Amino acid sequence: MAAFCKGRSRFKRVLLQQTFIRNLTGTFDYDVAVIGGGSGGLACSKEAAQFGKKVVVLDYVEPSPKGTKWGLGGTCVNVGCIPKKLMHQSALLGTAVKDAGKYGWNIPTPVSHDWHTMAEAVQNHVRSLNWGHRVQLQDKKVKYLNLKGSLLDEHTIRGVNKAGKETVLTAENIVIATGMRPKLPADVPGAEEHGISSDDLFWLKESPGKTLVVGASYVALECAGFLTGIGLDTSVMARSIALRGFDQQMAGLVTDHMESYGTRFSWQCVPRRVEKLASGALQVTWEDSGSRTEHSDTFDTVLWAVGRAAETRKLNLEKVGVVLEKESGNIIVADNEASSVPNIYAIGDIGEGRPELTPVAIKAGKLLARRLAGASTELMNYDKIPTTVFTPLEYGCVGLSEEEAERRYGKDRIEVYHAFYKPLEFTVAERDASQCYIKAVCLRDGDQPILGLHFTGPNAGEVTQGFALGLQCGATYRHLLDTVGIHPTCAEEVVKLNITKRSGLDATVTGC
């Protein structure tokens, strides 16, 4: 206790000295200090340094409750987009192998998948990205500190390393880019003890085996999708709807396809407890909230994908006057990413109401850096952000869902053009295309501005990215009609849309 008090008083002394020197000279150790070296933080720090600012970035990974940890680069690189897309690709290859026979390949059966090989290759790639990020910071003269940061005052950061050693530094501007972490349910006995989250899944050395994925967010469905695709017995348990916030007709197509692909779904079910049996298997007991009956089954792995939360409370933000959204704990931000304290900014997932996507965090971070350097006044445009859900049948979208368009403009002012189409590559492979669907949600007025575009099918991300440019430029249905397709592609079906939902006509595409 005496040592603790001594440490604290030494720390207070250092802080007072820092404040005194800063007040006296008006200078700071850094022009910009960024807490969080993920998508947003790295982009912001490198950009600010490019504009001649003296920049430091603090990044520290708190191990998951299961003890999984990783390197520099944040969620996307280590436990998000990158390992997820690579494992999704592994699953797609399994489907391609099945198709290959129909296309003339002699593939000895049965084919099998080796988790260890896939995971090692993915993890090695991620490690190479971690290294690449460190090199880039060095090249761009950004000081990188592997410290856990929190605020002491509006210009002072306290960093603590893994051995508990403290460093205090000051900065004119502070950017918080600490992202989010998976939530684990506190009210389900055994959930944390026996379950894992997406923070662990990508770093497992051995196959998760028979897996229960709890949740129906995009993270839940993507993970369940690739686990099914690599041949694992996979179930999804969902309390309510899938892909909340996305167009619900499209969400239905995605989960219908997953069911036909082999993923089992239990809807309106709530896990009650997880117990480890003597055999090592995990027994999950859940309640079907419709029939109010209890059920149980055993699994090798239980993956919780029930949402993500900002860990802002650990940053001491409220003490320095940064206002947080009460429920989410996210930082309330203005259009210029400033928090309620003018020199403290927040970018990426941690900003309240911001889309939780890597390119959003990167772009917002770069634009903020340019503004801080006085090189630009441009603000981030959060409108019409495209995204893709990498489920076995991919779903790409940009703009408004049909529900949101109706809510904003009224059903009568909306025209929806839609089509069920068959990707050419599905024909020879005799794959079912029932869920391959496109819809353009337009205003009925004038040239019919496109409010939202939705696409399920192969390479949805690639397709949607191109059309996102169109929507950003104010594309109308008239522009779609004026665009010549690229034949034979799935994307050309977008520019051929001609059946309205209102007409009630069959929207199945026939012929070329």
Ligand X SMILES: Cc1cc2nc3c(=O)[nH]c(=O)nc-3n(C[C@H](O)[C@H](O)[C@H](O)COP(=O)(O)OP(=O)(O)OC[C@H]3O[C@@H](n4cnc5c(N)ncnc54)[C@H](O)[C@@H]3O)c2cc1C
* Shortest distance in whole angstroms from residue 333 CB to ligand X: 12
| Residue 410 annotated as lining a ligand binding site | no
User: Choosing from 88, 113, 125, 487, which is the catalytic residue?
Assistant: 487
Rule CB under 6 A: say whether 148 interacts with ligand X: yes
Q: Are 151 and 158 in contact (CB under 8 A)?
A: yes
Which one, 56 or 237, has the nearer CB to ligand X? 56
H helix runs in 202-282, sequence order: 218-229, 248-261
Q: Report the nearest approach of ligand X to the CB of residue 511 (Å).
A: 35
Q: How far is the CB of 459 from ligand X (least distance, A)?
A: 14
Q: Is 365 annotated as a binding residue?
A: no
| Residue 324 near residue 317 (C-beta atoms within 8 A) | yes
Among 119, 230, 251, 361, binds ligand X (CB under 6 A): 361
Residue type, 323: V
Kindly tell me which of 213 and 315 has the beta carbon lying closer to ligand X. 315
* 8 A C-beta contact, residue 384 and residue 398: yes
The torsion of the CA quartet 454, 402, 347, 344, rounded to 10 degrees, works out to 170
Binding mask 43-82 for ligand X (x = CB under 6 A): ---------------xxxx------------xxx---xx-
Q: In what order do the strands lie in the sheet with 234-238?
A: 264-267, 234-238, 211-214, 301-304
Q: 384: alpha, beta or left, given left = phi > 0 and alpha = psi -120 to 50?
A: left
Tokens encoding 287: 């309640």
Side-chain half-sphere exposure of 3, counting CA atoms within 13 A: 0
Q: Give me the residue whose beta carbon is nearest to ligand X.
A: 38
Using the minimum distance from each CB to ligand X, give the nearer residue, 307 or 423.
Answer: 307
358 with 317: CB under 8 angstroms?
no
- Among 29, 31, 356, 415, contact with ligand X (rule: CB under 6 A): 356
Minimum distance, C-beta of residue 342 to ligand X, in the bound complex (Å): 21
Closest CB 387 distance from ligand X, rounded Å: 7
CB of 216 to ligand X, least distance (A): 14
Tokens of 296: 């149980």
Specify the residue, 169 or 480, whose C-beta has the smaller distance to ligand X.
Answer: 169
Tokens of 447: 């040239």
Using CB under 6 A, pick the residue from 18, 45, 90, 358 that binds ligand X. Answer: 358
DSSP string spanning 405-473? HHHHH-GGGEEEEEEE---HHHHHTT---TT-EEEEEEESSTT-BEEEEEEESTTHHHHHHHHHHHHHT
Whichever of 89 and 498 has its CB closer to ligand X, that residue is 89
The single residue among 33, 34, 35, 250 that binds ligand X, judged by CB under 6 A, is: 35
Q: Establish if 225 lies at the interface with ligand X (CB under 6 A).
A: no
Q: Indicate if 116 belongs to the active site.
A: no
Binding status of residue 470 toward ligand X by CB under 6 A: no
Helix axes 115-139, 81-102, angle to 10 degrees: 140
Q: Say if CB 398 and CB 467 are below 8 A apart.
A: yes
Query: What residues numbered 72-131 form the site for ligand X, per CB under 6 A?
Result: 74-76, 80-81, 84
- Residues marked as binding? 85, 149, 215-222, 307, 349
- Residues marked as binding for NAD(+)? 215-222, 307
**Which residues are tagged catalytic?**
487
* Chain contacts with ligand X (rule: CB under 6 A): 35-41, 58-61, 74-76, 80-81, 84, 148-149, 177-179, 198, 219, 315, 348-350, 356-359, 361
